[in-house]
Structure 1
Amino acid sequence: MSLELSARDRLALAAAAIALVAGAAGYGIATLRSADDTPQTAEGGRKILYWYDPMVPSQHFDKPGKSPFMDMQLVPKYADEGETETGIRIDPARTQNLGLRVVVAERGALGSGLTATGTIDFNQRDVAVVQARASGFVQRVYGRAPGDVIGAGAPLADLLVPEWAGAQAEFLAVRRTGDAALTRAARQRLALLGMPPGTIAAVERGGRPHNVITVSTPTGGTIKTLGVRAGMSVAAGQTLAEVNGLGTVWLNAAVPEAMAGQLRPGQTASATLAAFPGERFAGRVAAVLPDVQAESRTLTVRIELPNRGARLKPGMFATVDFGGSARSALLLPSEALIRTGKRTLVMLALPGGRYQPAEVQTGSEAGGQTEILAGLAEGEKVIASGQFLIDSEASLSGVEARPISAPPTSAPAKTAVYETTGRIEKIESASITLNHAAVLALKWPAMTMTFRLANPAIARGFKIGDRVHFSFDQSPEGPTVRSIVREASR
């Protein structure tokens, strides 16, 4: 047999080799493409864009595995997420792992939560000025000093007034004549010379001149200034002392200018001091001063406090709480708010596992609750814990926040709520009888009727005769009170 191959045989072998190589290459390419495509498609056929750690959503990975940041598996980001009608959709299992907590925007009573600090000061309206009524000489002083606390009528100094001696002698001489008209004129002259009525009466009773007068304080308090010393001469009208009363004191509180709209004269306030732990001192706002401190951007609120026993000392530091009647407001836990500096957002929890940021306008804050003025409807659900992670996810997905002017995305059907005022006539375990004003929305006249209590705790702390502001609805069981707030006394 010949070992040499014919040309025809060599051509056949070359064709077979080329086919074998091509088949192997095609298999390899197909295998590689299959390996690349497998991690990018989920079992349901949803396209996967990347994997990420929910705790660090800005970091993307091209394959599944364990997170380098947390002890947890990476989760896929699907292409169809963020493309729903509103908001983003998140797997319920993932939301449970993130520890999301959902709250409902509800109406409730919002009290005044304004607290400020201040210092005790003298009541500058309770100041007495002691002056010399005539020129004279100081014969005696009574050992007083600035800062002493004295009572009303306490003596300060004895003054010798020479010009009073001649006038008193003339008065006594005229009095002995028995001429009533001249006697009245002489007595009037003594009063015009500045002689106190008590001194004139003493001259009439004793029948001899009294040219030494004891200067005393008209009111009690503390001596702020004392300008009389033994041996000195004084002129008519010269100030000898200033006495500041201690029956009431001022508490000057520094309040941020942003809170100025919540304050008004006559408003109740209470103060606590470190010197008297556990004790509260009640007072009222006497004035809101018109100027604002440029350095601290605060205004001064003057509160007048009774000072029984002179326990409150000027200069003491105090914390003051401004009272005010509670009012009905749409409330949300303060922790649910996302404050960006330019606007305030909340993360709405929509039906079907969808979430959407919404811009809101906030009002007052008290007791961990914030008033929502616009951007949210009563009954809408909001995330109160873990909302920052969902907000990051929404930002990555390009989901726009719902503007304040937009209507609620999914406002629940609610029964109409009506509000009015009235007086409590009777309180029972599950009902309350109110003599209420007219309800124009229902065309009800003013009348006395019994309402169901949505919760017996609503009426706790109230008594018969209280004037209240209350809200109610027309439930199938009958008119039902939902909230009661005591009206401020006038």
Structure 2
Amino acid sequence: MTTLGLHHFESLLTNQMQLIIKERTIVCGRCSCGGCAEMKNFILGFFAATLIALGTYWSISDHPSGKPSPAKKAPLRYHCPMHPDYISDKLGDCPICNMRLVPLQEPPDTVQPDGPPGSQSDGSSTKISQDLPGYSSVQINPEQQQMMGITLGKARVMNLEKVVRLAGRVSSEPDNANSIPAKFAVSVRELFASSEFQHINKGDPILSMTSQEFTAAQADYLTALTSNEKPSRPDSQTATPERSQLDSARERLLRWDVSPDAIAHLERTRHPFPAFIVRSVSSGWVSNLAKPGTEVTAGNILYIILDLSTVSVLGELPEMDLPFVKVGQPAEITFNFKPGKIWKGTFDTKTRTGKVKVKFPNDSPLLMPNMIADIRIRCNLGKGLTVPESAVLATGERSVVFVAQGNGIFEPREVKVGSRLRQLYEIKQGLTAGEKVVTAANFLLDSESKLRAAPVNHGRQTPPQD
């Protein structure tokens, strides 16, 4: 019974008493006996005792401890929804993100009239985490869990396999490249190979060139040939100087890769070649051709013939993957132009700077140097404890998971993570096999946990330092 109800009841009793006395006065108004006065005193005493009894009952039932009912209202404080650590006693904007401050809930350890310590108006409860500062355990009923979309996953022990992926570029093997230098100063006149990395056979023409030295060598040969045709004396016992000069000029042309057929043609026509045609010394893919009009000095490269039966893919490993890769491990190479086709290779070289080389046989004429390839190297790491990747919240300073303790209680726990494997994280410390962790909506639990732990952080008003 409230105070207002008690006063109303007291007023009703008083009015009823006055009516009774008035009726009694009307009935006995003509007599002068003392019975009416005694009856009036009896009625007044009865109603007074009734009022005292009701007041005592109300005091005992509504205030068993003798303390007043309404609790003293705490001063209203405000916090930032995005930065729960920032708390202010004045309404305004967050100095970190300029977001509008919102009223802060009562501290979870405050005794409220409608529930036990730590209970919330929405049916959830909070327990401050002692091992993880700034976080608190949160208890959420099943209906709220379903609305938030919370899902769970188990920490499992399994075989760990890390797949290292990197991009690479096809390169020819240095031992399979045949570089052809110019044997005398030339000027490139025309190219017969139309494109870079064109396949040619041995003896195919590659380019033509002109050279003053080549023209002079042809003239010397024709002069020696004319001199050699003069009749010699019958008593000559040794080779004539003209014969020796002819042989020397011929050897000079042969050293410059002039074919015997070309020399025979020169002997028949007695006309020097205006340009010298260079022919391939072997079969393969031509590369690094000198461009028309280029002056090439003796010893510089005219062209390169590549043997692409075996090629390499050169790449660069991320620093975090260097410990997992060993020389001799099998590797898989794929190309975008050939989906589904996998080339098998071997991890051949690894440098301290992370540069790697994967060598593999080339059974396709489509693979050319400088093509971009995708490399996959599978590394077996043995057995380990894993959780789904979505279960781990990385804050920058630590990694946190929420562990389901039963009865709707979720405990924040710091873990030490190892390798990231596909869609899993290896857990080095902080969990045991079989424990259930939150895998979806854990960011909502993270915000709620920080929010409920914020009021006990000494009411800090200073923005957190980065």
TM-score range, shorter chain: 0.5 to 0.7
Deviation at 1:133, TM superposition (A): 0.4
Task: Tell me the residue number matched to 1:381.
Answer: 435
Q: Which of residues 148, 162, 167 is equivalent to 1:112?
A: 162
Task: Tell me the residue number matched to 1:145.
Answer: 194
Deviation at 1:243, TM superposition (A): 4.8
SS in 2 for 1:225: coil
Q: Which of residues 394, 418, 430 is equivalent to 1:339?
A: 394
1:225 aligns with 2:225: no
Instruction: Using the aligned pairs only, state the percent identity.
Output: 19
Task: Tell me the residue number matched to 1:370.
Answer: 425
Query: What letter corresponds to residue 205 of structure 2 in structure 1?
Result: P
In the alignment, structure 2 segments of 5+ residues that lack a partner are 1-30, 70-103, 116-120, 229-235, 455-466
In 1, are the aligned partners of 2:286 and 2:305 still within 8 Å (CA)? yes
1:328 aligns with 2:383: yes
Higher RCO structure (Cα 8 Å, ≥6 apart): 2
Query: What letter corresponds to residue 302 of structure 2 in structure 1?
Result: L
In 2, are the aligned partners of 1:336 and 1:387 still within 8 Å (CA)? no
Q: Could you say which structure has the higher helix fraction?
A: 2
SS in 1 for 2:162: coil
SS in 2 for 1:112: strand
Cα distance in 2 for residues equivalent to 1:262 and 1:307: 27
Cα distance in 1 for residues equivalent to 2:439 and 2:45: 70
Query: What letter corresponds to residue 309 of structure 1 in structure 2?
Result: S
Cα distance in 1 for residues equivalent to 2:251 and 2:41: 151
1:307 aligns with 2:362: yes
Where do residues 347-426 of structure 1 align in structure 2 (5 Å cutoff)? 347-348=402-403, 356-377=411-432, 379=433, 381-385=435-439, 388=442
Where do residues 270-309 of structure 1 align in structure 2 (5 Å cutoff)? 270-288=332-350, 301-309=356-364
In the alignment, structure 1 segments of 5+ residues that lack a partner are 39-57, 66-72, 292-298, 400-490
Deviation at 1:346, TM superposition (A): 3.3
Query: What letter corresponds to residue 320 of structure 2 in structure 1?
Result: A
CA distance 1:11–1:210, shift in 2 (3 Å)? farther
> What does the per-residue CA deviation read over 1:281-335, in whole Å, with 9 as the maximum and x for residues that have no partner?
22334545666xxxxxxx6644444433321245655433223345333333334
Task: Tell me the residue number matched to 1:319.
Answer: 374
In 2, are the aligned partners of 1:141 and 1:157 still within 8 Å (CA)? yes
1:75 aligns with 2:99: no
In 2, are the aligned partners of 1:228 and 1:240 still within 8 Å (CA)? no
What RMSD over aligned residues (CA atoms) do the two structures have, in Å? Answer: 5.8
Cα distance in 1 for residues equivalent to 2:395 and 2:58: 53
Cα distance in 2 for residues equivalent to 1:373 and 1:319: 30
Cα distance in 2 for residues equivalent to 1:235 and 1:307: 35
Q: Which of residues 132, 154, 173 is equivalent to 2:182?
A: 132
In 1, are the aligned partners of 2:150 and 2:441 still within 8 Å (CA)? no
> What does the per-residue CA deviation read over 1:193-237, in whole Å, with 9 as the maximum and x for residues that have no partner?
991588599989x999998764233452143433346xx976433
Deviation at 1:149, TM superposition (A): 0.5
Query: Is the deviation greater in 351-360 or in 301-310?
Result: 351-360
Cα distance in 2 for residues equivalent to 1:366 and 1:332: 10
Q: Which of residues 244, 258, 265 is equivalent to 2:320?
A: 258
Q: Could you say which structure has the higher strand fraction?
A: 1
Deviation at 1:130, TM superposition (A): 3.1
TM-score (norm 2): 0.53
TM-score (norm 1): 0.51
Deviation at 1:257, TM superposition (A): 3.4
Query: What letter corresponds to residue 216 of structure 1 in structure 2?
Result: R
Where do residues 170-185 of structure 1 align in structure 2 (5 Å cutoff)? none
